[in-house]
Amino acid sequence: MLRKKQISTYKGYLEKKIVFAILFVLVAATADAQFLFRVSGNGLSAPSYLLGTIHYLPGSLLDNSAEYLEAEAQCRQMYVEGKPTPGKIDNQQQRQEQPKVTYPDGKNIFDFIDTESAAILKEKFKEATKIDLNDTTWKSFWDWTPAAYYNFLASRLKSQTRPHGGMDGVLMMKAQKQGWDVGELDDEELTLESLNEHQNELPPTIDIQADSLMALLKGYEQKRQILTEGYEKLTKYWILGDYEGFASTQLTSVHQHTAMFEKRNAKWLPRMQVAMSEKPTMFVFGAGHLIGEQGVIQLLRTAGYEVEQIKIKQLSR
């Protein structure tokens, strides 16, 4: 017979599965426009479109979107944030001259985290990799820095708590199959700048890294809950086309990551203007780039374009 705690945990798991199921049923019934915007005026002979995506949602959600399909039919090319190229990110990371943080001689990860954190680390790492850190066969992993473990576990938490859809990639492949040209808004310099910003956020010393890792380990399940609820909220905003609700929750994140959002938006603008002047274009990128005074929408309006959201219409059941 299941213990009360096990029953409670299983009940919570089922409730989350039900929430996602309800959201995706809602998508099938009402998802039409979402964060889809028409760009016109300022000398354009035909409108272009912005689609702000939630990256992890499946691209198939738009198969039933009359508004998106209509907008897509008017376009002749697509621009995405960046096209995946084998080795591109690795080469850029190798070009970064970031000082590497290493342990003092004879020390390793377990000299810098407490016993409770070490036990949790071994448990979570074994769940993810099947590697037992108690086994000296795998002693090389003891030399991983706290930041490396932090990034590994944080990435795993994200992948466990959100759907796996890749909306941007699906739409890009669809465009390519239609014979469209697919361009990139980012270039190597922009991508490298974003990587550098992320690297600069990493704690500079082993001790500070260890404190961050221990905080993550001891709050692991709470962090999972926060991420799950956050993704559910963003998914709901997108499904309902509630751009204002989405913007209100994401503005702080945008301001905290200027290279990732505001600097990229400013450099995207002239590329977007050239593309729109050539032919009707569908721009597909993360919805966070839409929002704020330095968001793509406001930048386009300041440049003289009309930008309007295409509202959701109820689909027949």
pLDDT in the model for residue 37: 95
The residue that leads in pLDDT, 281 or 257, is 281
Res. 10 pLDDT band, cuts 50 70 90: very low
Q: Which residues contact 95 (CB under 8 A, 6 or more apart)?
A: 192
Q: What is the mean pLDDT of the chain?
A: 80
Calpha distance 295→303 (Å, rounded) = 12
Sheet hosting strand 36-40, strand order edge to edge: 181-184, 77-80, 281-286, 48-53, 36-40, 306-309
pLDDT in the model for residue 79: 97
Q: Given a cut of 60, is residue 2 above it in pLDDT? A: no
Concatenate the DSSP letters of all residues of 67-102 into one string.
HHHHHHHH-SEEEES----TTHHHHHHHH--PPPP-
pLDDT in the model for residue 105: 92
Query: Which helix (H) or strand (E) element contains residue 27?
Result: helix 4-30
Q: Which residue has 């992993």 as its token pair?
A: 141
Calpha distance 129→287 (Å, rounded) = 33
pLDDT per position as a tens digit, 188-229:
766 666 555 555 455 578 999 999 999 999 999 999 998 888
Here the tokens at position 83 are: 């096209």
Residue percentage of the chain with pLDDT more than 90: 50
State how far Cα 232 lies from the chain centre: 14
The residue that leads in pLDDT, 61 or 279, is 279
Query: Which helix (H) or strand (E) element contains residue 184?
Result: strand 181-184
Res. 296 pLDDT band, cuts 50 70 90: very high
* Torsion sign (Cα): 190, 196, 199, 203: negative
pLDDT per position as a tens digit, 166-188:
889 999 999 999 999 999 999 87
pTM exceeding 0.85: no
Phi, psi of 308 (to 5 degrees): -135, 140
Calpha distance 280→284 (Å, rounded) = 13
Long-range contacts, 19-26 (Cβ 8 Å, 24+): 19/232, 20/163, 20/232, 20/235, 23/232, 23/235, 23/236, 23/239, 26/239, 26/240
Closest C-alpha to 76, from 41, 46, 113: 46
Q: Given a cut of 90, is residue 17 above it in pLDDT? A: no
pLDDT in the model for residue 88: 47
Q: Integer distance in angstroms from the first to the last C-alpha of the chain?
A: 42
Q: Which residue has 């299941």 as its token pair?
A: 2
Here the tokens at position 9 are: 């945990």
pLDDT in the model for residue 242: 83
Calpha distance 115→112 (Å, rounded) = 10
Q: Is 238 left (phi over 0), alpha (psi -120 to 50) or beta?
A: alpha
Weakest mean pLDDT among 88-92, 221-225, 241-245: 88-92
Q: Given a cut of 60, is residue 310 above it in pLDDT? A: yes
Q: Given a cut of 50, is residue 108 above it in pLDDT? A: yes
The domain limits of the chain are 4-95+163-202+240-309
Closest C-alpha to 188, from 93, 268, 92: 92
Res. 265 pLDDT band, cuts 50 70 90: very high
pLDDT in the model for residue 165: 74
Q: Given a cut of 50, is residue 16 above it in pLDDT? A: no
Weakest mean pLDDT among 47-56, 78-87, 101-110, 166-175: 78-87
Here the tokens at position 216 are: 């993550």
pLDDT in the model for residue 255: 66
pLDDT per position as a tens digit, 53-78:
988 888 888 888 888 999 999 999 99
